[in-house]
Structure formats: C-alpha cells, structure tokens
Chains A and B, each alone.
Chain A
Amino acid sequence: VTSKITVLYDTIRLEEKLLIESAKKNNIDIEMVDCKKLFIDLSENTQNFQTVLQRCVSYYRNIHSTATLEGLGAKVVNSLNTGILAGNKLFTHMLLQKAGVPTPEATIAFSKEAAMNALEKNGYPKIIKPTVGSWGRMVSKLNNKDSAEAIIESRESMYPIYQIHFLEEFVQRPPRDIRAIVIGDKVAGAIYRITDKDNWKTNTHLGGSAETCKVTNEMEDMCIKAKNAVQGEIVGVDLMESDDKGLVVHEINNTTEFRNVVRVTGVDVPTQILEHVKNMSG
C-alpha cells in the first residue's frame, strides 16, 4: 500500500496546476495521469491504481474512468455513485428533496407536448435545463409560450437526453448565487458569483465576478446535507438566496472548479483537497 494519490485529468486547468503546486509545497506524493492516454484491461489492476482524485472535465470520460478504476478496487474521489447522481439535475433534485434540503420547485416532462402542458398549468417564466450538462449550456429562460415552443421544438432533433425537459422555477433573488466548496464534513470556503446586469446566469465562465461569502451555520449544514445526499466527498455546492424561501441548493458539482474560491477567499483549497484524499487512503 502506498500513500500516493493519482490525479486523473484530461485537461490541465488552473485547478490542476494549483494541485500540483500544493503537492510540491507540502510534500504530498501525487502522480498526474492523463486519462486521454489511458487504456485499461478490465480484468486486472495492472497499473496498480489505489487512491485516485478524479479531475476529468469531460463528463463521460469522468464517470467511465471512475467506474473502471473503482471496479478494479481503487478508491476514487468522488465515487461513481456521486458522479452519476450529482451529474444529473433530476437525480440531484429528488435526493435533495428527500434529504430535506430546500431546492427550487421543478417539474419534469417527457415530451414536448407534456412540457407545453406543464408550462400552461404552472405559468411563466421557467428555466429549462438539460438534466445532464454544465457551464450553463442549453439552460434557457422560457418567458412565454412562443419562446417555449421555439426552444423545446429545437431540442426535438437532438440527442434523446435533450427531450427530457427539466423545468425549474425562476427564483427571485439578488443578482448573484453562491458556490461553496465542501471537503469532507466542512465547507472550506464560499463565494458569491455576481451576474453582470445583462445576464441572469451566474456562471463565472460566462463573465460573472466573485466576492467572498461568509459561511453561516445554516449554509454549512445545508451544504453537508447536500454533499451526503449524493454520497460525495469533495463537491461544489451552488446555492441561491430565494426572496421567499431563503437559501436553496440548485446544483452539486462532482468535479468542482475552485480557482475563484482560492483567488477571492485566500483559502488553500487544493491543499485541503489533497490532505483529505490522503487521509482517506491511509
């Protein structure tokens, strides 16, 4: 048994560079493995993977490599279950609801006709989200019947996952949301992601800015419950401050980005991640 941590990646982002830097600084034994170069015979763990920090940015590469290594006996953070559960907005929604974590009201519809009927019954505006997907891609605001018809119609010819229509309430909130990084049973740090005035999406990929968010006991408690609901170890929890319901969790990220939390709060997230994974392996 070694205490080496395999960091499995497919793209070196700033997060991966911060992990490498932290390992060097703190004498933590890591090996960087490019998942794109891997082939693995499934009968035996010949490459001796033991403790793996999963960092692949491609969703399919991520869950398939996790399934492989976990199946061969490695400890993968996060687990296959977490990848599957957190990777799907419907699965996450149901688990949050069951765990008593407030989450935006939502409706699922299994065809265009059913989605239009749901919108007719529940009213506009609503947010339509693919159940699988990231960075705000194909997340649209449906303001009225015409725009809903057009957007849902355009999805009819796409891959079948885009014909499962997850319709979420448009939460009235300040022009920001919260990203909290949960490591084990602690919130390492949190930021507000602030939208610019022309965009309701808060993804910092889309040009939002960030500020430190003070972690309250209520918020920490919700984040830990959310992490446990998807059987996670290290996750990014996204919350909104609903005008009428208070904090609600709308997403859990399985391979969370943390650069803005590090930059804005100064918390050494990469070292906390590596230490946590190291302790799990020992």
Chain B
Amino acid sequence: MTNCLECDAGIIIPDDAVEGEIVTCAECGASFELVKASDGFELKPAQTIGEDWGQ
C-alpha cells in the first residue's frame, strides 16, 4: 500500500505489478507510473495520453 500524491488516499499496488505500469487512484482518479524503489515501487505522475499514442 502506498499513498496517492494528489489526495493521499491509499493505492494498492498489485502483486504482479511491473515497472512502468500505470496505476490509478480509486479516490481521485489521478494516474501514476510505477518506478522501482529499494523496497517495492514509488509513484511518479504518469504522462497523460500523448497526441501520437495508439496502435
């Protein structure tokens, strides 16, 4: 469990999480990218969807 950088609500990071994954705060909807830290993951504000994103 870590805390949302926007609203401080608890964010549960799933067991199978990998670096670079985007998690979203259930309370305020802010999105964060998971960054490896010494013990687990830290949150970094995620890039919003880029103008050239797609498939």
Of A56-64, A68-76, A143-151, A270-278, which binds chain B? A56-64
One digit per residue, 1 when the CB lies within 8 angstroms of any chain A CB and 0 when it does not, for chain B 1-45 equals 000000000000000101111100000000000000000000000
CB of A253 within 8 A of CB of B16, answer: no
A58-B52, A254-B55 known; A9 vs B21 contact (CB < 8 Å): no
> What DSSP secondary structure best describes chain B's contact surface?
loop
A side interface size, CB within 8 A: 25
11 contacts between A and B (CB under 8 A): A11-B22, A12-B20, A12-B21, A16-B18, A34-B20, A57-B55, A58-B50, A58-B52, A58-B53, A137-B54, A253-B55
- Kindly list chain A residues whose C-beta atoms are within 8 Å of the C-beta of B16: 17, 21
Closest A residue to B53 by CB, please name it.
Answer: A57
B side interface size, CB within 8 A: 12
State the CA gap A134–B50 with chains docked (Å).
11
Give A5-47 interface residues, CB cut-off 8 Å to B: 9, 11-12, 16-17, 20-21, 32, 34
Top 3 nearest A-B pairs by Cβ distance?
A134-B54, A59-B52, A12-B21
- Kindly list chain A residues whose C-beta atoms are within 8 Å of the C-beta of B50: 57-58
- Kindly list chain B residues whose C-beta atoms are within 8 Å of the C-beta of A32: 18-20
CB of A11 within 8 A of CB of B55, answer: no
Closest A residue to B34 by CB, please name it.
Answer: A12
State the CA gap A134–B54 with chains docked (Å).
5
How far in angstroms is the closest Cβ of chain A from B21? Answer: 4
A257 within 8 A of B: yes
How far in angstroms is the closest Cβ of chain B from A156? Answer: 18
- Kindly list chain B residues whose C-beta atoms are within 8 Å of the C-beta of A104: none
CB of A133 within 8 A of CB of B20, answer: no
Closest A residue to B50 by CB, please name it.
Answer: A58
CB of A134 within 8 A of CB of B18, answer: no
State the CA gap A58–B55 with chains docked (Å).
8
Given contacts A57-B53, A137-B51, A255-B55, 19 further A-B contacts (CB under 8 A): A9-B20, A11-B20, A12-B19, A12-B21, A12-B22, A16-B18, A17-B16, A32-B18, A32-B19, A58-B52, A59-B52, A59-B54, A60-B52, A61-B52, A134-B53, A134-B55, A253-B55, A254-B55, A256-B55
Closest B residue to A34 by CB, please name it.
Answer: B20
A91 within 8 A of B: no
State the CA gap A157–B53 with chains docked (Å).
21
State the CA gap A20–B51 with chains docked (Å).
27
State the CA gap A34–B52 with chains docked (Å).
17
- Kindly list chain B residues whose C-beta atoms are within 8 Å of the C-beta of A133: 52, 54
A232 within 8 A of B: no
A135 within 8 A of B: yes
CB of B18 within 8 A of CB of A17, answer: yes
A189 within 8 A of B: no
Closest A residue to B46 by CB, please name it.
Answer: A11
- Out of A20, A59, A137, A253, name the residue touching B18 (CB < 8 Å): A20
State the CA gap A208–B30 with chains docked (Å).
24
- Kindly list chain A residues whose C-beta atoms are within 8 Å of the C-beta of B21: 12, 17
State the CA gap A34–B36 with chains docked (Å).
13
Closest B residue to A136 by CB, please name it.
Answer: B54
- Out of B18, B19, B53, name the residue touching A135 (CB < 8 Å): B53
